[in-house]
Amino acid sequence: MSQLQRIAIAPSQFQQGQILLTKEQQHYLGRVLRLREGDRFIAMDGKGKWWLAQLAGEQAQVLEALLVETELPVSITLMVALPKGNGFDEVVRCCTELGVTCIAPVLSDRTLLHPSLQKLERWRRIAAEAAEQSERSFVPTILEPVTFNTGLSFANSQQYICVARGEFPHLKDCLQHKGQRTNDIGQERIVIATGPEGGWTTQEIENAIAFGFQPVSLGRRILRAVTAPVVALSLITAACEV
Chain residues that interact with a copy of itself, rule: CB under 8 A: 2, 69-71, 90, 93-94, 97-99, 133-136, 165, 170-172, 218-224, 227, 230-231, 234-235, 237-239, 241
Distance from C-alpha of 61 to C-alpha of 129, rounded to nearest angstrom? 30
Nearer to a copy of itself among residue 21 and residue 239 (C-beta): 239
Nearer to a copy of itself among residue 32 and residue 72 (C-beta): 72
Nearer to a copy of itself among residue 120 and residue 223 (C-beta): 223
Nearer to a copy of itself among residue 60 and residue 76 (C-beta): 76
Distance from C-alpha of 126 to C-alpha of 186, rounded to nearest angstrom? 27
Nearer to a copy of itself among residue 193 and residue 216 (C-beta): 216
Find the shortest distance in angstroms from Cβ 153 to a copy of itself.
Answer: 29
Q: Around Cβ 33, how many Cβ atoms within 10 Å? A: 18
Find the shortest distance in angstroms from Cβ 220 to a copy of itself.
Answer: 5
Find the shortest distance in angstroms from Cβ 39 to a copy of itself.
Answer: 22
